[in-house]
Amino acid sequence: MKAKIYQTIDKQVIKDWQKLWEKSSFANYANAPQWFLSAVETFEFKNYAIIALYEKEKLIAIGALVKEKRYGLNFYTVAPGDFTCGIPFLIDLDNNKIVQEFKKQLLLLGHVFLSNIPTAFLEAFGKDSSVMQSSLQTVNYFLPIIKDSSGQALIVKRNKLMHRVKTIQEKFTLHSFNGVTMEGLDKAFELDDQSRKQSRGYNAFNSVEVKNFYKNLVKHFKENLCINILYLEDKPIAYEIGFLIGKNYFGSQMAYVAEYKQYSPGKVILVKLVDFLASKDIKKLDCGSGDSPIKQLLTDEKRDLYEIILSDNKFVRNYSKYVGILKQFAYDKLHQNIRVYSLYRRIRKILPL
């Protein structure tokens, strides 16, 4: 096995990465070359590293990180951190030889910070490792998509989710766009400007940078990126954005127009999305990181997500772990009061924390 760290973008490496990603059972959006390229183009990272493992000149594992500040220290991390969830590297977690070599290469970079990392990654990389610290961060809800005898998706609490629109369900339709054009994303931007989240100061597209990032995601992911728009008759009232990869769908962003909140559009668009995915024979909907009443209604299936620090430096590991725990505690408290949380998000736009 041969390892190489690239610190410039090599076209052949990106091409090989794309081929491996397309056939890997561990593929998601965060370990895709499209995600890395979009991040570098948008945020203009100059200091980054691509770790590649080869066996007989064939690429078998790869991952990319950028260098930026976390808790006042320099770390290599997957960017942008607030938007990622899941296994961050394209790697077979069941192959211990590959995992250990990849961990060795990560440590050569210095300090590595990873967020929203599932338990499977933690266990494969060594939960009790002397060079790794972890702390529970949040949860990741997911829904196995199973169809009944008529071909409709089984949603245990479908009636509860659709309660507010049960007599007018036929008036709601879902239109799905992909990244081949900007049409769907443009509609999502318009809806985001009118959304309930925007009125409270924590909408997804609250900066030009984030909008540009999603424009680049559209450019690079193309058919793998989905923008779903919920219509009430001929009026768009909500959007959902996610990534269609193999037989899995990874949700990313969702919001609805504030004036239609009486219909619970967030619940309606999720039910319509699951039905759409079932029609495409998708097997799992990954709801991303974070807890919410809507996710709890949709599914009981969930897994823990962790914040991980990899470093040979004990002080860096311990300092980062406990600062992270304190930050998560404060965030959870803030989130319980929506007005305070909205103020926090507005301040964070000015002074990133």
Question: Residue 125: which region, alpha, beta or left (left: phi > 0; alpha: psi -120 to 50)?
Answer: alpha
What pLDDT does residue 200 have? Answer: 61
> Residues 222-251, buried b or exposed e (16+ Cβ, 10 A)?
eebbbbbbbebeeebbbbbbbbbbeebbbb
Please answer whether residues 93 and 124 qualify as being in contact, where contact means their C-beta atoms are separated by less than 8 angstroms.
Answer: yes
Amino acid 344: pLDDT: 46
- Over residues 16-55, the pLDDT tens digits come to 999 999 999 999 999 999 999 999 999 999 999 999 999 9
User: Is it the case that residue 124 has pLDDT exceeding 70?
Assistant: yes
Residue 346 pLDDT > 60: no
Q: CB neighbours (10 Å) of residue 312? A: 12
% of the chain residues with pLDDT over 90: 79
Q: Are 117 and 88 in contact (CB under 8 A)?
A: yes
- The yes-or-no verdict on residue 150 having pLDDT over 60 is yes
Q: Class assignment of domain 2-137+305-350?
A: alpha beta
Alpha-carbon distances, residue 121 vs 60, 94, 306 (angstroms): 17, 10, 10
288 confidence band (pLDDT: 50, 70, 90): very high
Length reported for the chain = 353
Indicate where the chain has its CATH 3.40.630.30 domain(s). 2-137+305-350, 146-282
Q: What is the C-alpha end-to-end distance of the chain, expressed in Å?
A: 40
Mean pLDDT value across the chain: 91
Q: What is the pLDDT of residues 319-340, one digit of tens each?
A: 888 887 887 677 666 555 555 4
- pTM tops 0.75, yes or no: yes
Decide if pLDDT at 59 tops 60. yes
Helix (H) or strand (E) holding 231: strand 225-232
CB 192 within 8 A of CB 229: no
Q: Does domain 146-282 have CATH number 3.40.50.720?
A: no
pLDDT value of position 81: 81
